Structure 1
Amino acid sequence: MKPADLIGYCGVYCGTCARWYENPALRQLATALAELVDAHRFHYWIPEVVKEFNYVEFRKALDFFSQENTWLFCQKGCKGGDGRPDCEIRDCCKSRGLDLCFDCEEFPCDKVK
């Protein structure tokens, strides 16, 4: 995939997104935080001491974000079908045959504000 293919309809460069599969930062940070809270044995005392914090769900989230193969990570960019399935900007550009939102005569509109 060429770098130009990673420019979304909205103009965002997908290659720098935390969801881009070649960008390991999110996975690495979630893994490191999971290892840290496990090493400090937070699972023994947080649930009892901090009632308003759901430690179990927090830990599940860290495990989720640590995974490599999950729906969360994009491999094709939004023009290839990844990204938010309900993206108004993508739908609008596709219906108008536009490659980029700012090529539209109506730019800027309420969809991009």
Structure 2
Amino acid sequence: MNDRPTPRALLLAPCGLDCARCAVFRHGEIGELAGRLRELMGGYGRLARMRAQEVPVLADYPRFEAVLEELSRPACPGCREEGTRCPLSNCLARDCVKERGVDFCFQCADYPCAAQFAGMEKLRAAWLAKNGRMKAVGVERFLEEQEGEPRYPG
């Protein structure tokens, strides 16, 4: 491939997922915002206990604090680095693109292969849609389009 993706484009996983917007990505906005919220909430636990009778959901505040703590410590370097923590352990793209000398699945001569997300219809459909769109409009335009979309659609 003769035109290399920008550094921002390389934050996209080879399969097309946006690592930069993932909750476990080490340098992502979700981790930064969770850390900031954790700081801002400071000692709110004491007030949450006091308000729990009035607002029952606040009785679960310690669980929220634990989730916020976890979200504020993301550790994944992204799918293009060693030590990835992507929950899609059945994703073949990470190794496959290296073997084939491409940056993204859609650039492969065998795309779409039958192996990627085989037996996982919803995930495979999302993979095909993302790669199809990148192929149609280019990686940079695809990134621009993704900016306004939720990272974790229902």
Q: TM-score, normalised by structure 1?
A: 0.58
Equivalent pair of 2:24/2:75 in contact (CA under 8 Å) = yes
1: distance between equivalents of 2:30 and 2:62? 23
2: distance between equivalents of 1:26 and 1:94? 26
Equivalent pair of 2:11/2:19 in contact (CA under 8 Å) = yes
Equivalent residue, structure 2, for 1:107? 112
User: Aligned pairs, how many?
Assistant: 106
Q: TM-score, normalised by structure 2?
A: 0.47
Partner deviation per Cα, 1:18-68 (whole Å, 9 max, x = no partner):
4433334433245326617818811323278527963321121122223xx
Equivalent residue, structure 2, for 1:80? 81
Equivalent residue, structure 2, for 1:61? 67
Residue 79 of structure 1 aligns to a residue whose secondary structure is coil
1:9 counterpart = 2:10: no
| Aligned-residue identity in percent | 19
Specify which structure has the bigger relative contact order, considering alpha-carbon pairs within 8 angstroms and separated by 6 or more residues: 1
Residue 64 of structure 1 aligns to a residue whose secondary structure is helix
Pick one of 18, 31, 47 that aligns with 1:41. 47
Instruction: Pick closer, same or farther for the CA change 1:54–1:65 going to 2, 3 Å.
Output: same
CA shift for structure 1 position 10: 0.6
Please, what is the CA RMSD of the aligned residues? 3.8
Equivalent pair of 1:31/1:62 in contact (CA under 8 Å) = no
Equivalent residue, structure 1, for 2:32? 27
Equivalent pair of 1:93/1:101 in contact (CA under 8 Å) = no
2: distance between equivalents of 1:8 and 1:27? 20
Gaps of 5+ in 1: none
